[in-house]
Structure 1
Amino acid sequence: MEPLDFSHSPMLVIASLFVALMSGFTGLSLTQGLSQRSIEQRKILIVLAAIALGGGIWSMHFVAMLGLQLPILFYYDAAITLASALVAILVVGLALLILHFWKRTRTTLVLAGTIVGLGVLAMHYLGMSAMELCQALYTPLGIGLSVISSCVLNIAAFAIAYGNRSQRGIVVGTLFFGFAVFAVHFIAISGTSFVEVDVLTEVGPLISNEVLAIGVVLSSFVLCGAFLLTGVTVLAPPAGNRQVSARPEPAPEPEKSTSAGTVPPQIPYEQEGRTLFVSTDAVAAIRAEGHYTHLYTATDKLFCVWSITEATKRLAQGPLIKVHRSYLVNPAFVTGFERLKDNGVCHFDVTHLKKVPVSRSRLRDVRDALGV
C-alpha cells in the first residue's frame, strides 16, 4: 500500500494551538490556592480542572485532525473517539490528585508531568486508531521521539506552573503546557504515514468530519467560557485600584489594652473551610498572592483573604513593615540583610520563606527598623 500524501490547514493548526493555551490557562488557574481550601472543595476544583485540561488536550488534537487534509474520504469511530477524551481527562485528574494531595516535591512534579506526558500520547494514538477507511502507520523512531518530547515538555510545564504559584508562574506554565500538547501532536504526526483501507473495524457508530467539527466546536465553546471566567478573575484590578464610595470610613476602634500592654491584633486565615486567627507577633512576613495574601509563620504558610493593600492599612500600627509592593515583614524574624545596588534582600530562617526583596524606596525604613 502506497502512503497517502497529506497536508494541514494553517488556520486550523493555529486554532489548535489557541485551544491548547486556553485549556492550560483555565486548568492551572482553577487549581491555584487549593491548599487553603477544604478537601471537598479541592476535589470539586480538581475535577473541573481535569475536565478543562483533559478536554482541552482532546479538543486540540481533533481541531488539528480536522485540519488534516487527505486525498480520500474517512470517518471516525464515535466510541473510540469518546474513549480518547476520557483517557485525557482521567490521566490529568490523576496528576492533579498527586500534586494536590501528596507532598509536593521534585519527585511528585516529575511523576505528574510524566503521567500527563504519557496520557497525552495515549489519547493521541487512541484517537488516531478511531480513523476508519484510513489507517495510521508509525515508526519506532517516531514513537520514541514523541514519548521523550511529551514527557520532558509536560514535566517542564508542571515544574514552572507549580514551582511558583503566582499569576506569572501560571502564565509561563500555560505557555509551556500549550506548546507541549501542540508540539507533541505534530511531532507524532511527523512520524506517521497514512494508507487507505477498505475494511471497516467500527466499534461504535461512525462520525464524519462535519459531525466531529460540531462536537469540537461545542467543547471549545465551553472551554472558551471557562477561559473567559478565569481570565476575568486574573485581570480584575487590584483591591487598591477599585473605586470606592465617597462616604468616609468610620474611625478605627481603639485597641483593647490589658495590664501587660496593647493586645496585638489578630490576622484571619482560612483553613479547611474555617476562619482562624494568628497574632501579628507570630507572623514573619505577608506576601501578596493575586487579590489575597499568604502569611508566613515560623513553620506554616497560611492563606489570608486580605489583599496586600488591606493588610498594609490594617496593620499600620503593628510590628510588620512594608518592604516591597508585595511584601510586609516582621523585623523580629529577619536573620540577615543584604544591600544590593538599588535595592536589598531580607533573609529569614522560617520553613516556607528564605528571603524577601526590599525595594529601593523602602531601604531606609528597613535599615532603620533593623538598626543597620
Structure 2
Amino acid sequence: MNGTINDFSFGMITPVTAYAVACVGAALGLRCVARTVHHAQGWRPGWLALGSASLGCGIWTMHFIAMVGFRVEETSINYDLGLTVLSLALAITVVGIGVFIVGYAGASRMSLSTAGTLAGLGVAAMHYVGMDAMHLNGEIRYDTRIVALSVVVAIVAATVALWATVSIRGFLSSLAASLVMGIAVTGMHYTGMAAVSVHLRSGVDPTPVGHAPTSLLLPMLIVPCIFLVLATVVVMFDPLLVLGEGEWKATSVGPTDTPLPAWSSTPQKHDRSQSTSAS
C-alpha cells in the first residue's frame, strides 16, 4: 500500500520561503566567485571559502525548509541527526570544489562545465542524503527517470548560473545568476520529490527512530540562517559591492593615476597659466 504524500502541507509558505533562502545563499556565493574572478584585491581563498559555505548553507536550508512541509498522511516522520549533518557537509564540500575550480581556473569552457557538474551533483547528493535521513513506517522508493531528470536540472542550471557570474560583470548580472541558481536548487528539489513514493509497512505505525522534524530541523535551521546573515554583512561591506564597480575603480587608483573628470575646470585653468608663463 502506498502512502499519501503531501509536499505542501503548509501551502505555498514553505516553497516560497525555501526559494527565497536559496536565492540569498546563491547571491552571496556567486558574488564571492565574481569577486575573485574579476578583481585581484582581497584574499582569494577566503572569498571562495565564504562563497562555498554560503552556497552550501543556502542549498541545505532550502531543502529542509521545503521538507518541513512534507507529510505522509499514514505515518509520522523522524530524522537521523548524523545523516542530516552529513548532507550539510556534502553540500558545502562538493559545491565548494566547483566554486574553487572557477575561482582559480577562470571562465574557460572546461572549468565552467566541470564546476557546474560538480555543483549540480553536490545539490543532488545533499538532497538524496537528506532524504535518506528520514525514518518512517514504510519504504521510500524513487522513479529513476525522474531522479535522473532532477540531476540534469541541477547540473544545467548550476552551470548557467556560474557562467553568468564569471562572464557578465556587474551586480545585476550576479543577482540574475542567483535567481537562476535558486531555480536550480528548488527545481531540483521538487523534481526529485516528484520521483518519491512511500510503500507503507503493514501493522501498527510505530514511532520512527530519530528526531521529530520540529525538534531537529527547526533548531538546526537557525545556525545556517545566522551564518547567511553574517555572510551578508561581510559581503555588503565589500567596497566592490557597496560602491559599484566603476566607483571602486576610481577610488582604488592612486592620486597620480586617477584620470581627471571631463567636467573639471581647475586643470584647464592650471594648464593655461602654465602655457602663459612658458611663453
AA aligned to 1:54 is G
* Residue 249 of structure 2 is aligned to residue 305 of structure 1: no
Letter matched to residue 213 of structure 1: L
Partners of 2:94 and 2:208 in 1: CA distance: 27
Q: Name 1:120's counterpart in structure 2.
A: 123
Q: Tell me if structure 2 keeps the 8 A contact 1:22–1:224.
A: no
Residue type matched to 2:248 in 1?
Y
1:174 and 2:178 correspond: yes
**What is the alpha-carbon distance in structure 2 between the residues aligned to residue 105 and residue 97 of structure 1?**
14
State yes or no: 1:97 paired with 2:44.
Answer: no
Picking from 254, 259, 278, the partner of 1:315 is 259
Query: In the aligned structure 2, how far is the partner of 1:156 from the partner of 1:147?
Result: 14
Closer, same or farther: CA 201–237 of 1 in aligned 2, 3 Å: closer
Work out the CA distance in 1 between the residues paired with 2:175 and 2:65.
Answer: 23
The within-5 A match list for 1:132-211 is 132-133=135-136, 134-197=138-201, 206-211=210-215
The answer to whether the 8 A contact 2:33-2:166 is kept is no
Question: After superposition, what is the alpha-carbon deviation per residue over 1:32-78, rounded to whole angstroms, capped at 9, x for unaligned?
Answer: 33244479x21122111111101110110000001112222111111
Q: Which has the higher strand share?
A: 1
Q: Which runs of 5+ in 2 are unaligned?
A: 264-279
Distance 1:234 1:196, change over 3 A: farther
Structure 1 stretches of 4+ with a deviation exceeding 6 A read: 198-202, 234-237
Deviations 1:151-174, CA, capped at 9 Å, x for gaps: 111111111111113212211111
Matched AA of 2:227: V
Letter in 2 for 1:305: S
Inter-CA distance 51–316: structure 2 relative to 1 (3 Å threshold): same
Q: 2:4 matched to which residue of 1?
A: 4
**Correspondent of 2:80 among 68, 77, 80:** 77
Unaligned runs of at least 5 residues, structure 1: 239-287, 295-303, 323-372
Q: Output aligned runs, 1:1-372, within 5 Å.
A: 1-8=1-8, 9=10, 10-35=12-37, 36-37=39-40, 41-71=43-73, 72-133=75-136, 134-197=138-201, 206-211=210-215, 212-231=217-236, 238=243, 289=245, 291-293=247-249, 305-306=252-253, 314-316=258-260
Letter in 2 for 1:121: A
**Alignment root-mean-square deviation, CA:** 3.0
Percent pairwise identity: 26
Q: Is the 8 A contact 1:58 1:84 kept in 2?
A: yes
Q: Which amino acid aligns with 2:224?
A: S
Deviation at 1:13, TM superposition (A): 1.2
Cα shift at 1:217: 2.8
| Larger relative contact order (Cα-Cα within 8 Å, sequence gap ≥ 6) | 2
**C-alpha contact 1:157 1:173 (8 A) present in aligned 2:** yes
Is the partner of 1:193 in helix, strand or coil? strand
Q: Which structure: greater helix fraction?
A: 2
Cα separation, 1, equivalents of 2:247 and 2:218: 39
CA gap of 1:107–1:291, structure 2 versus 1, over 3 A, is same
Encode CA deviations 1:165-186: one digit per residue, 9 max, x unaligned: 3212211111111111011100
Give the alignment's TM-score, normalised by structure 1: 0.61
How many Å separate the matches in 2 of 1:99 and 1:306? Answer: 27
After superposition, give the CA deviation of every residue in 1:324-345 in whole Å (9 maximum; x if it has no partner).
Answer: xxxxxxxxxxxxxxxxxxxxxx
- Conserved? CA contact 2:240–2:248, under 8 Å: no
Amino acid at match of 2:249: T
Q: Take 1:161 and 1:311, find their aligned partners in 2: how far apart are those partners?
A: 33
> TM-score scaled to structure 2, two decimals?
0.80
| Counterparts of 2:5 and 2:113, CA distance in 1 | 38
Distance in structure 1 (CA, Å) of the matches to 2:242 and 2:163: 28
The structure-2 alpha-carbon separation of the partners of 1:108 and 1:4, relative to structure 1 and needing over 3 Å to count, comes to same
Deviation at 1:228, TM superposition (A): 4.8
Provide the secondary structure at the position in 1 that maps to 2:34: coil
Indicate if the aligned counterparts of 2:33 and 2:165 stay in contact, CA closer than 8 A. no
Aligned equivalents of 1:54, 1:85: Cα separation in 2 = 7
- Of 226-235 and 161-170, more deviation after overlay is shown by 226-235
State the secondary structure of the residue aligned to 1:194. Answer: strand
* 1:168 to 1:7, Cα distance in 2 relative to 1, 3 A: closer
Distance apart, 1:225 and its partner CA: 3.5
Contact 2:98/2:115, CA 8 A, preserved across alignment = yes
Report the Cα distance in structure 1 between the residues aligned to 2:112 and 2:234, rounded to whole angstroms: 27
